Every structure is written in structure tokens, then in C-alpha cells.
Amino acid sequence: MGYLNKSPPVAARTLRVLARLLSYPDAALREHLPELGAALRTEAALSSARLAELDDLIRWMAASSLESDRLAVEEAYVELFDRGRATSLQLFEHVHGDSRERGPAMIDLAQTFEKAGLFLAPGEMPDYLPVVLEYTSTQPPRAARAFLSEMAHIFNAIFAALQQRDTRYASVLGALLELSGEKAKPVKVKPDESLDESWEEPVVFDGCSTKGQSNQNQPQTIHIVRKNAANTAKIGASV
């Protein structure tokens, strides 16, 4: 309670570190893990308990000395963040899903970044959480907390899903909730449908299958198939 009543801490470096920790754990990230941990402790924007959790995540990522260990860390990341909706780092996946509102919201968010002098690299989506955190790190403390608080319900949902999977990455979302001035709340996590499955092409002709064609001379069900996972759609008003 005492923490929530304080003025927002200066957390620009912390936000950038959290953004990096949520990025793909490649060789470049592993090389800078000691510096990231030092930056978190120097800025001290988070509680000691949360810093200890993040230290544990960093140690786990850094301990991959063998190639097989490194591959295991990378595969765990892909399985966690790229193959499930509940843990997706594309924030509009949790807000708009596949609705038409996602595109305009994505454009609005990109324009918000551009007004701050930030431009997306080719292939980057504005609702990707590490990108959002990079933008937030450029804002004054009160503005940064206000922006984070607008997304707190999304952080909370992802946090709950990560905790359910018993992964150290939950500490990063817990840190974001702390910086937003919010507390984690119980969330009922629905069974997650794999993103791979949700975008899978159904069988066109498969006898009596519920996908594709049913029995001949019977009414046929039309299936609209999405070919590519759209990473498209403002976090402010949209959430």
C-alpha cells in the first residue's frame, strides 16, 4: 500500500530493461544480461522482492552456457509468447482480437509514437509490448505511470497466464503492474488455443469432417480461413 501512494519513480532505464527481457533471447541479449541486471539495481525503481525475481530470470537466461541450453531457452520463449493467445505480447490481441477495430487502433498508436519522435523499424508492430515499453520509457514519470495504468488490465491477464505456466517471465509483467501503480488481481485464465492451430488451414474435402465438405447433397458449411496472423491495430482510448 505504501508503494502505491508514493510519487511515480523515475523508471526510464527499468522500462527499457524490461522491454529487452521480453525480447527474443538471442546471443546479443545474453551478452548484455549482466548490464541489464545492474541497470535495474542502480535505478531501483522496483521493490527489492521484484528485483530479486528479475535477478532469478536473468540468471536463468545467462546460465545457458551450452548450445543445447541456449536452444532450450529460445524454444521456451517461442512456445510461451509466439504460440498462445493468453500470453501474446501483441497487446491488441487481448483487446481487439481479429476485429476491424484493430487496424485503426494500430495506426493511432504508431502515430502516437511518431509524435514523440519514435519510428518503427521495418516489420515492427506498434502494439508489441517491448516496443510500447520503449515509448513509455521516453515519457515523464507521471505520464509513464498513467500510460501503463491504462494497460494494467492487459498486464494482469498476461501475468496470470504466465503464473499459470510457472515461468520466470511472470516477474516482468509483475514489475509492469508495480510500475503502473496497480496490484495483480485474480484472473480466470481460459484454456489457450494455440496460435498455430487457430490459423491452421482446414481440410477442404474430408468426408464427414466438421471442417471442409460434409456428405454430398447436404448443406455445406463455409469456413472463412485467415491465412496470416495479423499483427495489426491505440492503447490509450482503446483499452
φ/ψ (deg, to 5) at 124: -80, 140
Query: Mean pLDDT across the stretch 28-50?
Result: 96
State the pLDDT confidence band at 1, using cuts at 50, 70 and 90: very low
Domain that holds residue 5: 1-86+152-190
Structure confidence at residue 193 (pLDDT): 55
Q: In Å, how far are 9, 154, 176, 198, 221 from 206, measured between CA atoms? A: 59, 39, 47, 19, 13
| pLDDT tens-place string over residues 108-157 | 989 999 988 888 888 889 999 999 999 999 999 999 999 999 999 999 99
| pLDDT tens-place string over residues 62-77 | 986 677 788 889 999 9
| pLDDT tens-place string over residues 155-171 | 999 999 999 999 999 99
DSSP state of 127: T
Which residues, including other chains, have CB under 8 Å from residue 48's CB and lie 6 or more apart? none
Q: Is the pLDDT of residue 231 over 90?
A: no
Q: Is the dihedral of CA 116, 128, 95, 51 positive or negative?
A: negative
Assigned domain for 14 exists:
yes
Query: Mean pLDDT across the stretch 164-183?
Result: 95
Structure confidence at residue 190 (pLDDT): 60
Q: How far from chain centre, in Å, is Cα 147?
A: 16
Assigned domain for 49 exists:
yes
- Mean predicted lDDT score pLDDT of the chain: 79
205 versus 189: which is more confidently predicted?
189
Domain tally, the chain:
1
Assigned domain for 201 exists:
no
Assigned domain for 18 exists:
yes
Q: Please check whether residue 239 is in contact with residue 95, taking contact to mean a CB–CB distance below 8 angstroms.
A: yes
Structure confidence at residue 85 (pLDDT): 86
Which residues, including other chains, have CB under 8 Å from residue 69's CB and lie 6 or more apart? 63
DSSP state of 86: T
Measured between its terminal Cα atoms, the distance across the chain in Å is 25
176 versus 109: which is more confidently predicted?
176
Assigned domain for 138 exists:
no
Structure confidence at residue 205 (pLDDT): 36
Q: Is the pLDDT of residue 223 over 70?
A: no
110 versus 18: which is more confidently predicted?
18
Assigned domain for 200 exists:
no
Structure confidence at residue 191 (pLDDT): 59
Q: Is the pLDDT of residue 185 over 70?
A: yes
Q: Is the pLDDT of residue 209 over 60?
A: no
Assigned domain for 166 exists:
yes
Assigned domain for 42 exists:
yes
